[in-house]
Homo-oligomer: A and B are copies of this chain.
Amino acid sequence: MFLSSYALYHNCPMTWQLRQKARVFLAGTLWGSLFGVVITLSLQEQYAIAYQKPSEIPSKEGNSDLLERKCKQVGYPSLDNIRVTSSYVSAFSPFLRTSLWVMEYVSHDNEASSPVGTRSKSSFYKDPDIIDTFRASNTDYRDGAELGLSRGHLAPAQMHTQTQKEMDETFNLSLNIVPQLMSTNGCDWFRLEKMVKNLSKKYNETWIVTGPAFIPNEYGNESENQKQKVWKTEFTLIGEKRVAVPTHLFKVVLGKQASLGSKYHCAAFLLPNSPIPDELPMTKYQIDVEELEGLTGLRFFPELRYTDAQRNSIEKGHPLALSTFQSPVKWKDMCKESVCEGGYASFSKMYRHLSKMQSAKSIVELDELWSEAQALGYATRLKKDYETLKDAMLETSQDMQS
């Protein structure tokens, strides 16, 4: 450019000054344009950072930013009414008045040296941000107590002891609690929680999804001629707000370990929300993840199961591209790689005994079990349960006689 200007300056005698000016102006324009583009782009980069999506702005509430990022990395099981607390991510269902699922992320790198959260300082509370129509309260659960139901944690309190705030949040009645049979809550569900806590120590990173399930029963297949398959889903609702009592509860665990070449291990468990009188190995409750998906309508860790083509179609705005989801699952059976077993707590034996009482088929059997309970020293705690069970049995036998 400069060279040609120089040539022009020497070779054009007539209007050389005018030509010269035009050339220099053009050169300036070109340099200026480049400058304009660069300055605009660099200013816009600053602008873009200030206006990024809210979900990407780092949260000020402890670990909730890390939690959200890590959970999104493997994918949420559903997308409506998502709430991120310090302890867990929850998908609230206004229909059930409980969560559809709760997701936890555990990495022992981030643990405080001395946990401070204690259960005695926490209490169950109504969610302040849910409209009254859909909001469960302690009163609803009090009604459930007469059916042997307790306030069952989805994300266990004992997994969130880092701060008192984290533990407190596990007592949110809408986001983390479901009506759960006391005998299951205190016994086999507790075993499962203990097992998952042990498993989480074996992996660099662990994701846990827990939630209620509403499993149908097949019916009408007694007559041989009946060809069609018909199922019935049936569940109880408690309290003024009609909180749904799940027929089952599930837990899906995903572990990732650097020493395994960052491979994933996975296992899903489904426990009934009804009395479990016998102790069984935890693997008896293991269920195929895909089968659990069919039963719950949820999709577990979808991000790990996309292919590039699928992700591309999602980015193009295709809602879920579910039909092309059939990619090979990239995880191994956790219970074949690690030991899936959780020990009893000392109080668990009492809840096992309660399960046996709840499963009693006659008043005679119930009374025998009650004598045993007294001998074992459970009399004080189980007296009310015994009386409620006996009253219900007496009522049923009267109904059958009348």
Task: Give me the interface of A with B, judged by CB distance under 8 Å.
Answer: 1-2, 5, 20-21, 24-41, 44, 53-55, 57, 78-83, 93-96, 128-134, 143-144, 146-147, 216, 223, 228-240, 242, 244, 290, 293-294, 296-299, 315-323, 325-326, 395
Contacts and interface: CB of A to CB of B under 8 A. Distances in A.
13 contacts: A25-B31, A28-B28, A28-B32, A30-B32, A31-B32, A36-B36, A79-B79, A79-B80, A129-B321, A130-B320, A223-B395, A228-B238, A230-B238
A145 to B, nearest CB: 9
B326 A131 contact: yes
A234 B236 contact: no
Contact of A41 (B24, B40, B57): B40
Instruction: Report how many copies the assembly holds.
Output: 2
B36 A34 contact: yes
Chain A to chain B: the 10 pairs with minimum beta-carbon distance, closest first: A36-B36, A28-B28, A32-B32, A54-B317, A95-B297, A80-B80, A94-B297, A29-B32, A143-B228, A33-B36
A84 to B, nearest CB: 8
A78 B32 CA distance: 52
Contact of A131 (B29, B146, B229, B323): B323
Contact of A319 (B35, B82, B147): B82
Nearest to A326: B131
Nearest to A34: B36
A225 to B, nearest CB: 9
A34 B34 CA distance: 10
Contacts of A231: 236-237, 242
A367 B94 CA distance: 45
A263 to B, nearest CB: 24
A1 B31 contact: yes
Contacts of A298: 94-95
Chain A, interface SS category? mixed
Given A36-B40, A233-B244, 17 more contacts: A1-B31, A5-B21, A28-B28, A32-B34, A37-B37, A53-B317, A94-B297, A130-B323, A132-B323, A143-B228, A147-B230, A223-B395, A231-B236, A231-B237, A232-B234, A233-B233, A234-B234
A83 B323 CA distance: 14
Nearest to A317: B54
A320 B131 CA distance: 9
Contacts of A316: 54
A241 to B, nearest CB: 9
A68 to B, nearest CB: 11
Contacts of A94: 293, 297-299
Contacts of A27: 25, 28
A242 B314 CA distance: 27
Nearest to A1: B35
Nearest to A298: B94
Contact of A28 (B24, B237, B293): B24
A1 B294 CA distance: 65
A318 B5 CA distance: 53
Contacts of A131: 322-323, 325-326
Contacts of A96: 297
A83 B131 CA distance: 26
